[in-house]
């Protein structure tokens, strides 16, 4: 992915103290940042111009209405130059797949049960709003 322009970076730094880049891919970059408005750490996704289409706008609108302890909280979004950034709740421990790999463990049946109960509670909230989550993989379970 190409680098974030000075214009976009300056726009981000108005609201966030950008602490460290934690991921990068074809969709854009993910940063751990401090939200100057709330004082909380957040994950800021800076999406590539190709990722910003009508589907993304619809996804952002749906994120704003989901309130559940089992779904990552939306914190804000904004256009900056040719990019859009999306701020989400920061999860210090990261995703389930990475945690399992780092700890070199597999989950017991009870642990799998406990994780699935939380996932299903989150999906129940999303489905109650008439929405469907189409990408449930352990790398997205935070």
The residue extents of the domains of the chain are 1-92, 93-142
Tell me the percentage of the chain whose pLDDT exceeds 90. Answer: 30
Report the pLDDT value the prediction gives residue 134, as an integer from 0 to 100.
67
Buried b vs exposed e over 71-103: b needs ≥16 C-beta within 10 Å?
bbbbbbbeebeebbbbbbebeeeeebeeeeeee
The fourth-level CATH superfamily of domain 1-92 is Phosphorylase Kinase; domain 1 (3.30.200.20)
Using the 8-state DSSP alphabet, how is residue 82 labeled?
T
Bigger pLDDT: 70 vs 2: 70
Max CA pair span of the chain? 49
Tens of pLDDT, residue by residue over 8-45, are: 888 888 899 999 999 888 788 999 999 999 999 999 99
28-35/41-47 β-pairing: antiparallel
Average pLDDT, the chain: 86
Mean predicted confidence (pLDDT) in 76-86: 86
pLDDT in tens, 107-119: 999 999 999 999 8
Q: Has 135 been annotated as catalytic?
A: yes
Find the catalytic residue in 55, 95, 121, 135: 135
Given a cut of 50, is residue 1 above it in pLDDT? no
pLDDT of residue 37: 92
pLDDT tens digits for 40-65? 999 999 988 777 677 777 778 878 88
| 74: β partners | 88
């Amino acid at each position: 992915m190409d680098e974030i322009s000075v214009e976009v970076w300056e726009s981000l730094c108005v609201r966030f103290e950008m602490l460290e880049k934690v991921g990068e891919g074809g969709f854009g970059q993910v940063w751990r940042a401090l939200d100057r408005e709330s004082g909380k750490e957040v994950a800021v996704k800076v999406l590539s111009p190709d990722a910003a289409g009508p589907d993304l706008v619809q996804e952002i609108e749906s994120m704003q209405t989901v309130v559940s302890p089992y779904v990552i909280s939306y914190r804000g979004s904004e256009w900056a130059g040719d990019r859009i950034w999306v701020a989400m709740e920061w999860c210090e421990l990261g995703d389930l797949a990475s945690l399992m790999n780092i700890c070199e463990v597999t989950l017991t049946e009870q642990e799998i049960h406990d994780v699935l109960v939380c996932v299903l509670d989150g999906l129940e909230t999303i489905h109650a709003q008439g929405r469907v989550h189409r990408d449930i993989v352990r790398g997205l379970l935070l």
